[in-house]
Amino acid sequence: MNETENLQNLPVVRGEYKFNEALKNYTWLNVGGPADVMFMPKDVADLQYFLQNKDENMPVFVLGGGSNLLVRDGGIEGVVVKLSDACFREIKIESDRIICGAGLLNNVLKKTVENEGLGGLEFLCSIPGCVGGAVRSNAGCFGREISDVLISAKVVNGNGEVLELRNKDFHFAYRHSEFPSDFIIVEVTLGYERQSSEDVKKTIEQQAEYRKAHQPQGIRTAGSTFKNPPQMRAWELIKNSGADKLKIGGAQMSLQHCNFLQNDGTSNASDIEDLCDEVKRMVKDKCGVELELEVNKVGRR
């Protein structure tokens, strides 16, 4: 796609288009090629209009917080939708639930959870990324998953229609939800239990201290790289296979937690992908277990 073709074929919207936008600036791993087009809708109606009027063959990919994502060096074909407008980060608190825009970052939600005493949501505050992405991947930690607190989600389907989905509609499993790839989450409703602000803050602080002690901080990473196989821990399999010391280019497994890979600042996406492939091969050869990526790998290699 070139910029002239894009300008001719894309619907006229109220939001913003960016062409050949460097996606590494939007991901925690800080690697990857450009988006052919990035679209930042003004609101839900603008997103609907775009989906209803775009070329039916134009691919669409939704970019959330970029925390659990590996964009390949060739970039992403078609249009990358980024819900960056303030309307997608709004928060509304009701008596037993909180309604959040899908683009709200989980670490920004923390302040509201602490101040309002929204018990049961503490775990979500320490998960990298945004609320919408957490639903799609059924993100979790500290024994909790977002499926434990999700009441419903508002989505826009590929035809631009707004739908309300209940928890059961996602068919959640470990780090997984079943939901059409062309659905875009725009709003999430979560349940909570009223607690004192002090108790909620204490829980969040304890969880933050645990992460600080056991997981790498302040580096270019995408969180847990591989899912835990049933009744096993991915990090133990990686260590037992000897893959914990692997390094390819600027990518290596973290010395602090070997299920975290990191970019030392010089890596490209191919280094990271090759590292993941080699870790999988070594674990399969030495331990007889097929690891599955938790990181979402997208784009052209």
Fold of 90-199: 3.30.465
Output the six-digit token pair for 55.
Answer: 């070329």
Q: What percent of the chain has a predicted confidence (pLDDT) above 70?
A: 97
Residue percentage of the chain with pLDDT more than 90:
84
Q: 224, 241, 267, 273: which is the annotated catalytic residue?
A: 224
Q: What is the pLDDT of residue 5?
A: 52
pTM above 0.95, yes or no: no
From the centroid of its chain, how far is CA 209? 22
Looking at the chain, how many residues does it have? Answer: 301
The reply to whether 3-82 and 90-199 are identical in fold is no
User: pLDDT by residue (tens digit) across 118-130?
Assistant: 999 999 998 888 9
Q: How many CB atoms neighbour CB 38 within 10 A? A: 23
Q: How confident is the model at residue 3 (pLDDT cuts 50, 70, 90)?
A: very low
The residue type of 69 is: L
Catalytic residue among 144, 175, 211, 270: 175
Buried b (16+ CB within 10 A) or exposed e, 100-128: bbbbbbbeebbebbbebbbebbbbbbbbb
- Annotated active-site residue in 21, 122, 145, 294: 294
Instruction: Name every residue whose Cβ is closer than 8 Å to that of residue 233 and which is 6 or more positions away in sequence.
Output: 259
| Per-domain boundaries in the chain | 3-82, 90-199, 217-298
* The predicted structure's pLDDT at residue 171: 95
CB 98 within 8 A of CB 112: yes
Is 224 designated active site?
yes
Q: Does domain 3-82 have CATH number 3.30.43.10?
A: yes
> What pairs with residue 39 in β-bridges?
17, 81
- Tokens 């847990």, residue located: 224
pLDDT per position as a tens digit, 71-92: 999 999 999 999 999 999 999 9
Are 202 and 133 within 8 A, CB to CB?
no
Which one is the CATH code of 217-298: 3.90.78.10, 3.40.50.2020, 3.40.50.720, 3.40.50.300?
Answer: 3.90.78.10
